[in-house]
Amino acid sequence: MAVNLPPPDPASLHPVSGVDLGVAMAGVRKAGRKDLLVMRLAEGSAVAGVFTQNRYCAAPVILARKNLEAGDIRALVVNTGNANAGTGADGLKRAARVCEALAGHLGCDPAQVLPFSTGVIMEALPADRIVAALPKALFDKADWLSAAEAIMTTDTLPKAFSRKVKLSAGTAVVSGIAKGAGMIKPDMATMLGFVATDAAVPQKKLAAITRRAADRSFNSITVDGDTSTNDSFIVVATGRGPAVRAPRDLLKLEAAITDVARHLAQAIIRDGEGATKFVTVRVEGGKSEAECRKVAYAIAHSPLVKTAFFASDPNLGRILAAAGNSGVDVSKLSLYLDDVLVAAGGGRHSGYKDEQGVAVMKKAEFTVRVVLGRGKAAATVWTCDFSFDYVKINAEYRT
């Protein structure tokens, strides 16, 4: 059950001029479900992306990286149900075949197509089924909600978000979708995510925006500390809307893209496999943002801490031990659960009562705040608890 995550309202999801969406049922793993998405892009669109840092990356990641470097991307093709990871040279051939087939329909070069896959690892991609379903996807007129549904795996809800931003030349649209519920760890993007805008942005500036947006959103979440083989985050600027004419325009567009990405990233945590709690881990007073993030992730990754979250058990020793395990100096640390000071000066705060901590942790959403007392830097990450259902979902993933 997702934590305070309502289904997206179709009326709130704005179409992006220059992006045509189509979905189909290819039967990649299960019959009768949408599992194929094609995104056709207007000629001249700028496209930027970041990919998983897992060295055991999937065939579509290898091919998408290569094609993206060449530029002039005309389409994205996404399948769910099969990750095409751990498939060697044969996996690359199957991914390339899908790109070739789509390029044939669109009249472009296969290198102008970016492939993406998600699902079970170390199984051969059923390229024949995907190729056969491409015409259906191309004739389909899908919206962003349908596109979000087509890329789900263990997600319980589709993840989609839109907003508009006023630039000096007019109002631009930013819309995006993402999928992810497990194998979520910040090491690039930690899922599949696609964001598009109709604004006109130079390629190099879009690439910089994409990297920073990823760091402030998808690189600030963790479900279980495992980085997937297929993680990819792509941002498209079609240029069919207002142009970015001034530095202020660029800042406003970056803020909008980051806002959409952050909403999608937090939706992934709210829909984390088996999640019952959405937890913000905020670390302040560090010498650098890097050391604050290190402490935050030490807490957010800890299975002992996350199971305590699930039990609504304010086991302070687990949180303090995790912070200390980061390697950062925590000798001046103060620890808060929401606004309740629970530890300071190396030990339990004298005024703290255990029932205060229980009351905070029983809430569906709360904040763990650490003050290091070393400087002025800060960092925030978002995580969830570990429940019985997390184990069940992953134990039965392939059955």
| pLDDT tens for each residue of the chain, 399 residues long | 689 999 999 999 999 999 999 999 999 999 999 999 999 999 999 999 999 888 889 999 999 999 999 889 999 999 999 999 999 999 999 999 999 999 999 999 999 999 999 998 999 999 999 999 999 999 999 999 999 999 998 899 999 999 999 999 999 999 999 998 654 455 544 589 999 999 999 999 999 999 999 999 998 998 877 677 889 999 999 999 999 999 999 999 999 999 999 999 999 999 988 899 999 999 999 999 999 999 999 999 999 999 999 999 999 999 999 999 999 999 999 999 999 999 998 889 999 999 999 999 999 999 999 999 999 999 999 999 998 887 787 777 666
Distance CA 199, CA 391 (A): 43
At 309-318, the pLDDT tens digits run 999 999 999 9
Check residue 189 and give its pLDDT: 45
Phi-psi region of 16 (alpha: psi -120 to 50; beta: other; left: phi over 0): beta
Sole residue written with tokens 């992306």: 49
Who contacts 107 (Cβ-Cβ below 8 Å, separation ≥6)?
none
CB 253 within 8 A of CB 138: no
Backbone angles phi, psi at 245, to 5 degrees: -105, -20
| Strand, helix or coil for residue 280 | strand
Supply the pLDDT for residue 89. Answer: 97
Q: Which residues are catalytic?
A: 190
DSSP state of 220: G
**pLDDT tens digits, 4-51:** 999 999 999 999 999 999 999 999 999 999 999 999 999 999 999 999
Q: pLDDT tens-digit profile of 350-386?
A: 999 999 999 999 999 999 999 999 999 999 999 999 9
CB atoms closer than 10 angstroms to residue 106: 17
Torsion sign over Cα 348, 350, 355, 360:
negative
For residue 214, what pLDDT is reported?
A: 93
Q: Which of 67, 13, 39 shows the shortest CA–CA distance to 236? A: 39
Domains along the sequence of the chain with CATH: 10-270 (3.60.70.12), 278-395 (3.10.20.340)
Residues near 154 by Cβ (< 8 Å), separated by ≥ 6? 181, 182, 273, 393, 397
The tokens for 15 are: 């179409």
Question: 319 is written with which tokens?
Answer: 């949180």
Tell me the C-alpha distance between 352 and 340, whole Å: 8
